[in-house]
Amino acid sequence: MALILTQVGVTCMAKLRDERFLCPSGLNSDTVTCIDIMMTKQLPNGACHSILFKLILAILRNESSEALRRRQYALLLSYIQYCQHVLDPDLPTTVMQLLTTDEQENDDDPDLEKIVKDQTEMTHTNFSIIRKESQSLLDLIIKDATHGSESGKTISLYVLDALICIDHEKFFLSQLQSRGFLRSCLMNINNFSQDGGLSLESMQRVCTLEAEIALLLRISHKYGKSGAQVLFSMGAYESISACKALNMQVKGSYRRMDGKFGRELSVDVDKQRMIIAPILRLVFSLTSLVDASEFFEVKNKVVREVIEFVRSHQLLFDQILREDLSDADDLTMEQINLVVGILTKIWPYEETDEYGFVQGLFAMMRFLFSREPDSFITNQSIHFQEEQRKAEVNASRLCFSLSSYLSFLVTKKSLKLPVSDGPMDYRTSAGQQQPTLSLLGFLLNSLPTALERATEDRYLLLSKIQDINELSRQEVDEIINMCVPKGCISSSENIQKRRYVAMMEMCQIVGDRNQLMTLLLLLAENVMNIILVHFQDSSFECGTKPHSKDDLNMLCGQLISALERLELLSEDKTGHDLKVFRRLASSLKEISIQKSHF
């Protein structure tokens, strides 16, 4: 009976969770507002806390079994997800204030403040309830995560992950550390063995490994440098580097007979998604311990260990760097971003380039900087705008990482870039040449268009969100067809629900556009700084040959045109303070004018 009741609870909680992101049943008006979206927390705080308290008591009952606890853990995970803030973390508070201004003009007690206050109270009370029973609860969850079945271990690890998410006192970090559980996770990763087969048991072990890596990554993200330092001090890099899962077969499938229906089942297994990407995320996260101010400190232990990890897995890094950027899917682009992020963080400390990573990064710069930052949206495999937005953000983040690395080389290691490519040396391939100032000028010249488009998108979307109740059904349907994958909402749904879904999607796009604009502005800032450093260097020479002078004049003309457009960016439309940005653009424009008349 307990199993059945728990399963009913899981189903009910999932339904409650899903309904808050569809049209709330409590709305009777024909109109819908942003406040409606944010206030549809169907259950009051008191009811939520009562559910949590009773669920914890049920988990801690002596008359229990692992099978029952697995369902109870699933219910606990669903509950924690239900209680999470409905506001998208990528959507800045300033945007939410703008969206709710008109709705709160005559309200003495702004709803937005009330929502944030209620959410904070819910989160803190949830944490207090769990903390009160934390000793017994952690004993049980850690026991299941250590000695349970593979499926029991996996879900127990995800419960610990969820508990860390709501921890605002670093309580669970100290608890897991003092109980030796973190060290146990690292030992499991270090000692992971794969029989090379694709049996169900083998795949369950891979799922457990994935959950352990996810837990360590959560610790690094949630607790920042203090969490990363705890993991590093326990030998995280050595354990990750020794993990044999990195050498597993890349893709495959396992087959088993379904005893109930007497048929063969096949499940695809993707090592890239389950193992490689999570490990790279963890390695990249731990590089937050690398302090740029210690560039000349050759004994930096963190740098040495990351470099050793890269050396141990040179083939993996090289393989990812050689991926075809023009045809990369979302996961591949993430892995490329992670590899580039790791290398650009630590490889400047390496005196030699015996593995060719620097030349690989230079080759990537020459490829990406010669294209529009949003050029990846033409990929034929992309069908929905959400994927287009991801591609834009991924490409811009990659360009920003590469430009940051180049800026570091120029400012810290005195790298000098040529104005343009000289005559090709037959002994040197194009991929081994440094990027040029002309290439950076071309990139900078492409950024105003991307920024202007992102700015206009954001501005128009905010206007449509504020006027959502004035839009006709046809206009709402156009937004849904543009943003929402087919099948996610029925054509028979009423206009109220369709407006609600359209508003939710537009809010998400505004958040994505804010992220894209931030990356593009930072990218433009890096490029301007690199060129400015060269132009302000008294030893800067463009060469003695006539074509070198022509190249410089052409570069300056290109820069002046781009910088004038960057100076015209609107703070109101971008939502960013552009005073420092404009000052940098003005300084570079002034010196570019001087250079063009030299």
pLDDT at residue 544 above 50?
no
Q: Is residue 279 in a domain?
A: no
Q: Is residue 440 in a domain?
A: yes
Q: Is residue 390 in a domain?
A: yes
Write the pLDDT tens digit of every residue in 414-432: 899 999 876 555 445 444 5
Residue 597: strand, helix, or coil: coil
**CB 447: neighbour CB atoms within 10 A?**
22
Q: Is residue 253 in a domain?
A: no
Structural domains of the chain, count: 2
Residue 27: strand, helix, or coil: coil
What is the predicted pLDDT for the residue at 383?
41
What is the predicted pLDDT for the residue at 486?
67
Q: Is residue 327 in a domain?
A: no
In order of 348, 368, 526, 528, the CA distances from 410 in angstroms are: 11, 19, 11, 12
278 or 272: which leads in pLDDT: 278
Per-residue pLDDT band for 278 (boundaries 50, 70, 90) equals very high
Q: Is residue 207 in a domain?
A: no
Q: Is residue 20 in a domain?
A: yes
Tell me which of 274-283, 286-295, 453-462 is least confident: 286-295
What's the mean per-residue pLDDT of the chain? 82
Q: Is residue 142 in a domain?
A: no
Write the pLDDT tens digit of every residue in 335-347: 999 999 999 998 8
What is the predicted pLDDT for the residue at 2?
78
Domain ranges, residue 80: 1-102+116-132
Tokens of 228: 């990363």
Per-residue pLDDT band for 197 (boundaries 50, 70, 90) equals low
DSSP string, 378-428: G-TT--SHHHHHHHHHHHHHHHHHHHHHHHHHHHHS-----SS--SPPTTS
User: Mean pLDDT throughout 126-141?
Assistant: 95
**350 phi-psi bin (left φ>0, alpha ψ -120 to 50, beta other):** beta
What is the predicted pLDDT for the residue at 459?
86
pTM for the full predicted model: 0.85
